[in-house]
């Protein structure tokens, strides 16, 4: 039997690459569980509180209740009585896919199961557009903005090159049936004072 390529018995860790990840544990109204995960994190440690901020942001954007999160081998429980909602898209087969890309065209996709219906545009597929000024956000826009910011902080702390990833687009799809992908890119950000066609 041939040996492992690159394996040195005198220095068994010479070619070892450790990969950690961050995941959020969620539960739905029927007690079924799911996880949101960012895999393949690099060797950089996340700032204190960034993991829990990410977990809270995922929980706010989902109809499932976030009850814990873990980074690598460390597990934390957020709450013992996570609140799940039985609303539109409340099952874990509905997923909000969020795509982040760096300047080398590398992408990272993060999934939020059972997303809140109110974070989507009228088509029910594309993520809502965000106002240019965060001070004008409504409650759902705050949820979207916090989810984007918290995820970018996790990715940009851990993936190299540091601070090179930015949010590109978000859309809803299903794990059972494929929905049409939106044709646009990331949400359109209105210029301050621009006429957006709303009353």
pLDDT by position in tens, the chain (length 199) = 455 556 666 766 666 555 567 889 888 887 888 889 887 666 666 776 788 889 899 999 999 988 888 876 666 666 656 778 878 888 888 999 999 998 888 888 999 999 999 999 999 999 999 888 888 889 999 999 999 999 998 888 776 666 688 999 999 998 764 444 554 444 444 444 444 444 4
> Tokens for 48?
């204190």
Q: Give the pLDDT confidence score for residue 9 in this predicted structure.
A: 66
- The answer to whether position 179 is within a domain reads no
Q: Give the pLDDT confidence score for residue 187 in this predicted structure.
A: 45
Q: Which residue has the tokens 């961050």?
A: 22
Domain that holds residue 105: 20-174
First to last CA, the chain: 73
CA dist 154 and 173 (Å) reads: 24
> Which letter does DSSP use for residue 24 in this model?
E
Please count the residues of the chain: 199
C-alpha distances (whole Å) from 131 to each of 12, 115, 117, 194 are: 53, 20, 19, 10
- The answer to whether position 9 is within a domain reads no
- The answer to whether position 105 is within a domain reads yes
CA dist 114 and 2 (Å) reads: 47
CA dist 172 and 182 (Å) reads: 9
- The answer to whether position 91 is within a domain reads yes
- The answer to whether position 106 is within a domain reads yes
Q: Give the pLDDT confidence score for residue 195 in this predicted structure.
A: 45
Q: Count up the domains in the chain and report the number.
A: 1
- Cis ω before 161 (30° cut-off from 0): yes
Kind and range of the H or E element at 61?
A: helix 50-61
- The answer to whether position 189 is within a domain reads no
Q: Give the pLDDT confidence score for residue 155 in this predicted structure.
A: 87
Q: Give the pLDDT confidence score for residue 139 in this predicted structure.
A: 93
Kind and range of the H or E element at 154?
A: helix 139-158
Burial of 25 (0-12, 13-18, 19+ CB in 10 A): buried
Partners of 74 in the β-ladder = 71
């Amino acid at each position: 039997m041939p040996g492992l390529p690159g394996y040195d018995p005198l220095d068994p860790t010479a070619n070892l690459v450790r990969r950690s990840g961050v995941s959020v544990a969620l539960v739905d109204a029927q007690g079924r569980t799911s996880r949101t995960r960012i895999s393949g994190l690099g060797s950089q440690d996340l700032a204190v509180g960034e993991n829990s901020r990410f977990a809270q942001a995922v929980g706010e954007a989902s109809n499932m209740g976030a009850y814990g999160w873990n980074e690598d081998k460390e597990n934390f429980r957020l709450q013992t009585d996570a609140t799940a909602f039985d609303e539109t898209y409340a099952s874990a087969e509905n997923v909000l896919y969020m795509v982040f890309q760096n300047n080398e065209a590398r992408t990272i996709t993060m999934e939020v199961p059972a997303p809140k219906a109110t974070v989507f545009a009228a088509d029910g597929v594309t993520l809502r557009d965000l106002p240019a000024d965060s001070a004008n956000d409504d409650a759902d826009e705050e949820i979207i903005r916090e989810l984007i910011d918290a995820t970018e902080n996790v990715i940009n702390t851990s993936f190299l090159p540091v601070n090179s990833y930015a949010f590109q687009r978000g859309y809803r799809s299903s794990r059972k049936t494929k929905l049409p992908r939106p044709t646009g890119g990331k949400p359109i950000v209105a210029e301050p004072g621009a006429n957006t066609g709303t009353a």
